[in-house]
């Protein structure tokens, strides 16, 4: 096994991250993009360099609505974001988000249903970059049971973003339930893992366990952005949070209401923790399955 990137360079400066928990309007992509832009601008004014919003936030996590369209006849292609073959996005509905990213020099990560040129629909993350470009860096790999599997095609590759020297591994909601997913990102050099999500009300305790464990066992930060409200049969209650590389809580949002939390990811703390907890550097187990 090659030398783990835990021995590699760490970021030079802290990174202030914002996790936004807010309600999205079902199938109202343009409205949700405008609201997300306002929340991102507010977070940037408070010093955030990275803003993370929930899973499928641009359409809201309303799978029956996405599947059947609205009463007016709109289907998924009216709310989905179209990407080209290079995973670039040009969609005028995202102009408010791009404008905030350019004006504030901030990176925004937000969940969306994405239609690809080959017809696949994926549960994906968009990255809105400080230069104004919008890309699709990651498609959710682990779909939540039949509800998501009936609508989306799973992603097939890991991905990361780099913001101010911080390498950020990407996942969506159920991905955090798989330790191998987080370990692969950490071994590839991630300093933090971003998990936009839509954990249903009453299940947030599972997310807290997963996120603390993924942070501690990989000595990385974890960022959880979870919405509030949602469909009556599946509401969400927030409790977004940011955890440190020792599994400790850096910031946590209250349950049941809109909130934006901020946390400073500190490279000196990351170095201290990795100097004491050397699981990445001393890992002897392969992440690949043992042949039967």
- Could you read off the pLDDT of 8-66 as tens digits, one per residue? 689 999 999 999 999 999 999 999 999 999 999 999 999 999 999 999 999 999 999 89
Fill in the DSSP letter of residue 142.
S
Residue 59 parent element (H or E): none
Fill in the DSSP letter of residue 238.
B
Domains of the chain: 14-282 (3.60.110.10)
Global pTM reads 0.93
- Spatial neighbors of 154 by CB under 8 A, at least 6 apart, are 122, 139, 140, 141, 142, 143
Model confidence over 118-142: pLDDT tens digits? 999 999 999 999 999 999 999 999 9
What angle (nearest 5°) sits at the alpha carbon of residue 41, between those of residues 40 and 42? 90
Q: Is 258 exposed, middle or buried (0-12, 13-18, 19+ CB in 10 A)?
A: middle
In 3D, which of 116, 123, 110 has the Cα closest to residue 67? 123
Model confidence over 206-256: pLDDT tens digits? 999 999 999 999 999 999 999 999 988 899 999 999 999 999 999 999 999
Is the pLDDT score of 2 beyond 50? no
Instruction: Answer whether 16's CB lies under 8 Å from 242's CB.
Output: no
Residue-level pLDDT at 75: 57
Give the sign of the dihedral formed by CA 164, CA 167, CA 171, CA 177: negative
pLDDT above 70: percentage of residues in the chain: 91
């Amino acid at each position: 096994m090659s030398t783990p990137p835990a021995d590699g360079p760490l970021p030079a400066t802290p990174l202030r991250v914002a996790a936004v928990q807010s309600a999205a309007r079902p199938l109202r992509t343009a409205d949700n993009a405008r609201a997300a832009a306002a929340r991102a601008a507010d977070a940037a004014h408070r010093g955030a360099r990275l803003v993370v919003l929930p899973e499928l936030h641009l359409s809201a996590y309303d799978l029956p609505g996405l599947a059947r369209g609205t009463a007016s006849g709109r289907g998924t292609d009216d709310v989905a974001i179209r990407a080209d073959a290079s995973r670039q996005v040009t969609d005028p509905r995202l102009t408010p988000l791009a404008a905030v990213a350019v004006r504030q020099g901030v990176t925004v990560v937000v969940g969306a249903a994405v239609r690809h040129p080959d017809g696949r629909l994926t549960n994906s993350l968009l990255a809105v970059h400080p230069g104004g470009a919008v890309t699709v860096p990651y498609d959710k790999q682990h779909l939540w049971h039949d509800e998501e599997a009936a609508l989306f095609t799973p992603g097939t590759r890991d991905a990361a973003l780099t913001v101010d020297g911080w390498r950020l591994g990407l996942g969506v909601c159920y991905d955090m339930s798989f330790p191998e997913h987080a370990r692969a990102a950490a071994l590839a050099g991630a300093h933090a893992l971003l998990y936009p999500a839509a954990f249903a009300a009453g299940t947030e305790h599972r997310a807290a366990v997963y996120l603390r464990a993924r942070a501690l066992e990989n000595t990385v930060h974890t960022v959880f952005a979870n919405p509030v409200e949602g469909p009556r049969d599946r509401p969400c209650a927030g409790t977004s949070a940011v955890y440190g590389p020792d599994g400790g809580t850096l910031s946590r949002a209250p349950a049941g209401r809109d909130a934006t939390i901020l946390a400073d990811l500190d490279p000196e703390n990351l170095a201290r923790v990795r100097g004491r907890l050397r699981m990445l550097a001393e890992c002897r187990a392969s992440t690949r399955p043992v042949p039967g």
